[in-house]
Chain A
């Protein structure tokens, strides 16, 4: 198996899967939305707490999924903290690609982007 630093299943990513950051739920989120992975039916609930200045203070995600969806959600939610809602509205797939530092084929792309789908759903 590949073990270079572009591998989507490299140890750093697997650590995010085994111990995801921001995993869980919060009470009274400012925004929340659920995204469905059409490939396998996995669901992820994404919740954001935003302060008066429009800055994200806390993010939580929950649900079950494959390593790619959990690890990418873990990294993406870490990145979201401290960003403005305005910034998040213009965030696209490139950001997750950048965080994951890996490319994935079209069949598994929805797994990697599932928390982005939830984000787009809640902000639009």
Chain B
């Protein structure tokens, strides 16, 4: 099965001096043939503006674009198709929510509750909004194992009655899968709205927005085998109705006069300008790719790979893993440090072995600070990675240690 999956990714067949072991999937995944061909086919035979042209080509492009909205609705089990907003990525989706809520829903002195494991995409928009609107941001600390401290979370909810909780479904550094369903229920009890950052979970496990009951959820196409420049913001219909538009211009209007403009209904209200049509259609192909394998199967296989990687990394002396040491409630993301060797040296030397990993703070400086670190090496796996790639990684890490400790 794994060879069938790998065969669908042309870049994995690339042969340089060393075969490519692509272990940076939390940053972006590679793209399967179905996605590449769908986009190519669209530009070759179907390209036209959506929502405006009255000719057949434009109508067909519009129908295909809009059918992906239905597909996404089905994929994350949203109640209505209007709850699916196409964005340029998870960052844009989060910015839309933050900016919209800050505009008139939130007031000076209101509390926002985030966690120490949030990506900068969740933290930085809120810091900017907090500065302008005099909001207070609190951060839920993490346990030593790299999980959200739920005891403190409950206390902070009770103490501050925050208006908003922003939490990542899966940490892009620790791999921790957060209990977002329970966290959402607790947040709702104090009247907080909840935004789930699903950028790191969407390609690895079933995501059901009605089950989670979150108010908003954002993810990116390019981390789920789709193209860059496209993402999805899900929001409950009545909340999206309340939020002001984010991008103003063509398509998002109902009527424009010299005196004023009235806005289009959902979802158009949030899709000003020409949307990334080919990318949305490519995203549809990526969702089909995921559904063909099945998210439950993916989760099961990746969990085995996670257990394998955790065992292998544990055997390296001097390696300190950030995040949970067992495969339970955990995605295949492994950040670590090696004693006495800077993460950037490790990444450069792994690259010489054809192994692509990330080094740095991975857009999570607060998380690193809470572990008293500046940087770490991150290995992130997905559906096409194999145990033998992990073996190659481990061998290369041991060789690097020998070189440094010589």
Contacts and interface: CB of A to CB of B under 8 A. Distances in A.
A122 to B, nearest CB: 23
B15 interface: no
A42 B374 contact: yes
A65 B374 CA distance: 10
Summarize A's interface: helix, strand, loop or mixed.
Answer: loop
B374 A9 contact: no
A40 B345 contact: no
Interface of A: 1-2, 8-9, 11, 14, 39-42, 65-68, 108, 111
B361 A41 contact: yes
A1 B403 contact: yes
B181 interface: no
A41 B374 contact: yes
Contact of B345 (A2, A11, A66): A66
B394 to A, nearest CB: 16
Contact of A67 (B342, B359, B360, B361): B342
Contacts of B352: 1-2
Interface of B: 341-345, 348-349, 352-353, 359-361, 365, 374-375, 399, 403-404, 406
* Interface pairs A-B: 4 shortest CB-CB: A66-B342, A66-B344, A67-B345, A40-B375
B168 to A, nearest CB: 22
B360 A39 contact: yes
A40 B343 contact: yes
Contacts of B341: 67
Nearest to B365: A41
A15 B142 CA distance: 39
A14 B403 contact: yes
14 contacts: A9-B348, A11-B406, A14-B404, A39-B360, A40-B375, A41-B361, A41-B365, A41-B375, A65-B342, A66-B343, A66-B345, A67-B342, A68-B344, A111-B344
A39 B361 CA distance: 9
Nearest to B349: A9
A20 B349 CA distance: 21
A8 B403 CA distance: 13
Contacts of A8: 348
A45 B343 CA distance: 21
Nearest to A7: B352
Contacts of A67: 341-342, 345, 404
A98 B341 CA distance: 25
A2 B352 CA distance: 8
